[in-house]
Chain A
Amino acid sequence: AQKITQTQPGMFVQEKEAVTLDCTYDTSDPSYGLFWYKQPSSGEMIFLIYQGSYDQQNATEGRYSLNFQKARKSANLVISASQLGDSAMYFCAVDYKLSFGAGTTVTVRA
């Protein structure tokens, strides 16, 4: 079974600044995937980025990048140049069955 820990329940960030969301995980699987999803106030879940455990390079997707440190079992999400529309709940997840963390609420201030 996987366990996901997101220690930041809520964060505030100024518009145009970068924000890092922490995620640590615990899994016994030798091969796994790491995911981040965004849930705005409207409730839908939106896929942001994926990192395979054997990928050599950190994943990037537009303004999203994943700081993957396999030895530390850490997969932090970095959102660069924050926009007001980035205000949402962000979930880290592991594996195809997606064990989700508790989420971090990000509020972007103008």
Chain B
Amino acid sequence: DAGVIQSPRHEVTEMGQEVTLRCKPISGHDYLFWYRQTMMRGLELLIYFNNNVPIDDSGMPEDRFSAKMPNASFSTLKIQPSEPRDSAVYFCAVGRQGSAGELFFGEGSRLTVL
């Protein structure tokens, strides 16, 4: 398996534009997490899914953020409209029930909003 695949790896956009970050998880892992990492706030959990169902989205900063997992092979994190303070590295990670908590992270998507 190729691991968790995130795209794009880097994105530069202008304020107000829509941004869509994508994640292809490892098959057989029933938990999927979206994190955001910034220098100021560190690593923050935004939302997580279990078996494609959103379980906890309390970390989503505001209504401009939305996440979907239409099937076990794909998830998206959308920001609309984007703002400069959304600039961060966004990580997708997957885990499996009973795996002693080991999560596999993607390489992250670095977003810069000008």
Interface residues of A (CB under 8 A from B): 33, 35, 43-47, 50, 52, 91, 96-103
Contacts and interface: CB of A to CB of B under 8 A. Distances in A.
Interface residues of B, number: 21
A101 B100 CA distance: 19
B43 A43 contact: no
B108 to A, nearest CB: 6
Interface of B: 31, 33, 35, 42-45, 48, 56, 89, 91, 93, 95, 100-105, 107-108
Given A43-B89, A52-B100, A96-B95, A91 B43 contact: yes
B3 to A, nearest CB: 10
Nearest to B104: A47
A43 B107 contact: yes
10 contacts: A43-B89, A43-B107, A43-B108, A45-B105, A46-B105, A97-B33, A98-B103, A101-B42, A102-B42, A103-B43
Contacts of A52: 100
Given A100-B42, A103-B43, 4 more contacts: A43-B108, A96-B95, A98-B33, A102-B42
A103 B108 contact: no
A47 B102 contact: yes
B95 A45 contact: no
Contacts of A103: 42-43
B105 A50 contact: no
Given A43-B89, A44-B105, A100 B100 contact: no
A35 B95 CA distance: 13
A33 B107 contact: no
A71 B98 CA distance: 25
